[in-house]
Structure 1
Amino acid sequence: MKLLSIAVFALASATSFAKTYPITGNTVNCRSGPGTSYSVKKSYKKGAQVSISCQTSGTSVSGNSIWDKTSDGCYVADYYVKTGVNGYVTKKCSGGSNGGSSSGSYCKKVNTAGVNLVAQWEGFVASPKPDPIGLPTVGYGHLCQKKNCAEVKYKFPLTKTTAKQLLSDDLPKYSKCLAAALNSKPKLNQNQWAALTSWVFNVGCGNAKSSTLVKRLNKGDSPNTVAAQELPKWRMAGGKVMQGLVNRRKAEIKLFKTASSKQAYPKCQ
């Protein structure tokens, strides 16, 4: 009896420490990966209690880019989970095709060649103004997050030097997205990493994560072959082939194929 009582108490204690959180949306999809482009595995109703095994970054939902991996093995946007904090509440996911770099040592900053490539194709804007599709931007493609780009720490009008610094501040967000999409199979040097970060910066995190390019890299296909075959496909905007995008993809492929002895993913040198 005493041993049974101890076992029951231990089980009850373990259960009490299995923290769960309520779903706040009416019908919230739990997906195969951390982003809205991944397939739906199941859905949770409002008020359902979920436990979180780990968290990672993914597609931003109403300003929150954290995604929670539930005990069901799928990912739900943290925006719809009432954890009580605006940040991570448990360990970060690691390994696997949806968990990002297992080492966590990928190069967060992009090399100078990559910064220069993005700057070349984004074009320079000294003070905030709408881009061709009406979004307020400044510098080299920085999308304003607040009125008049108040989040930018550099003085307007920007110089090309401060604009490059702002771009260098922005690019790690896209490198992080790329690392979250890749498993441990791709081995990329710093020029390859920079070229792909330029691509992610241009097409967006969600599009990159759901792309055939990423899927092929995660299968272990040759990076140079994948880049040469997949990057040129990203040449359209508004349903039309854009010569500027054709040229940008050629420049990215050229940088991708430029030899470098310094590794960037999954380990940074």
Structure 2
Amino acid sequence: MKFAILAAVASFLAPASAYAITGDNVNCRSGPGTSYAVKKVYKKGTDVKISCQTTGTNINGNNLWDKTSDGCYVSDYYVKTGSNGYVTSKCSSSGGSTCAAPKSNQATVDLIAEFEGFRANIYTDAAGYATVGYGHKCQKAKCAEVKYKIPLSKADGKKLLADDMRSFEVCITNMLNSKAKLNYNQFGALVSWSFNVGCGAAKSSTLIKRLNNGENVNKVLSEELPKWNKAGGKVLQGLVRRRAAEVALAKKSGSSQALPVKC
């Protein structure tokens, strides 16, 4: 019996040789979320080795993402690991934290909702994507991945929005180091900004570099966020208002520490 137990433990701890991809043409991305660039595409049945796992965009109820031996991230939902939980170690973030990213406060959800606008039923957006709620882009026909009843209520729409915000919470956490000390309102301002401009653009920005140099957070946000007011080279009043709302949120007091993460 003792030998059998030890053998089972050894089997559990041993790294798996490979796990099969279960979806058709599954994207492997530069980070753990659908907002990151596609680096590789796996065909159904491809065996992938997982080096570590982390949290990211929620895909059909699973917010785990697997970092493969190819150096990119694929949603665990499409990998046949036999579990919806961790089967290997957690990935260390580039910002130095190995803890889970904080969740945005309600003020952040409300701010993003205000500027995204709400549609209860599925519609086609300006870029041709099937969309519902507060800007959720459908991943399956008729938004089958959405766990809330469609037509959406505004309350469920905000829950879906909070799910979609997760990858941006993770990417903001990962791109900032321990010199960047943010409360939840300041963190929320950055989540709203990255949700709008994308994690790739945010990571390469002067704003993030200044925060990682330890500069005063509100000074940096007040000076840098308003610069992100253009689309196609033209200033858009909607973006001017959004940046002003993000700065105003960051300056609100009475919010506890969000970053660096307290494990």
**Same-fold status (TM-score > 0.5):** yes
Match of 2:71 among 37, 52, 76: 76
Which ranges of structure 2 fall in alignment gaps of 5 or more residues? 1-13, 19-29, 39-48, 58-63
Which of 1 and 2 has greater Rg?
1
The answer to whether residue 102 in structure 2 is matched with residue 107 in structure 1 is yes
Match of 2:179 in 1: 185
Match of 2:145 among 143, 151, 175: 151
The answer to whether residue 219 in structure 2 is matched with residue 220 in structure 1 is no
Following TM superposition, by how much is the alpha carbon of 1:66 offset from its aligned partner in structure 2, in angstroms?
4.7
Q: Classify 1:157/1:54 alpha carbon distance in 2 versus 1 (closer, same or farther; 3 Å).
A: closer
Which ranges of structure 1 fall in alignment gaps of 5 or more residues? 1-16, 22-30, 38-50
Q: Distance in 2 between matches of 1:147 and 1:19?
A: 33
Match of 1:230 in 2: 224
What TM-score do the two structures reach when normalised by structure 1? 0.67
1:113 match: secondary structure: helix
2:142 match: secondary structure: helix
Match of 1:43 in 2: none
Q: Deviations over 1:75-111 (max 9, x none)?
A: 93256xxx9969977533436xx24524x15423x11
Q: Distance in 1 between matches of 2:243 and 2:156?
A: 26
Superposition CA RMSD, Å: 3.7
Q: Distance in 2 between matches of 1:168 and 1:58?
A: 12
Following TM superposition, by how much is the alpha carbon of 1:113 offset from its aligned partner in structure 2, in angstroms?
0.6
Q: Distance in 2 between matches of 1:65 and 1:202?
A: 22
Q: Distance in 1 between matches of 2:150 and 2:97?
A: 37
Number of residue-to-residue matches in the alignment: 221
**Quick one: which amino acid aligns to residue 130 of structure 2?**
P
1:228 match: secondary structure: helix
Q: Distance in 2 between matches of 1:195 and 1:175?
A: 11
2:71 match: secondary structure: strand
Match of 2:165 in 1: 171
Asked whether the 8 Å contact 1:182–1:214 carries over to 2, the reply is: yes
4+ residue runs over 4 A deviation: 17-21, 33-37, 51-59, 64-68, 83-90
Match of 1:139 in 2: 133
What TM-score do the two structures reach when normalised by structure 2? 0.69
The answer to whether residue 89 in structure 2 is matched with residue 91 in structure 1 is yes
Q: Classify 1:100/1:20 alpha carbon distance in 2 versus 1 (closer, same or farther; 3 Å).
A: farther
**Quick one: which amino acid aligns to residue 101 of structure 1?**
S
Q: Deviations over 1:129-180 (max 9, x none)?
A: 1222222211111111111111111111112121112112222221011111
1:76 match: secondary structure: coil
2:122 match: secondary structure: strand
**Quick one: which amino acid aligns to residue 236 of structure 2?**
M
Q: Distance in 2 between matches of 1:169 and 1:252?
A: 20
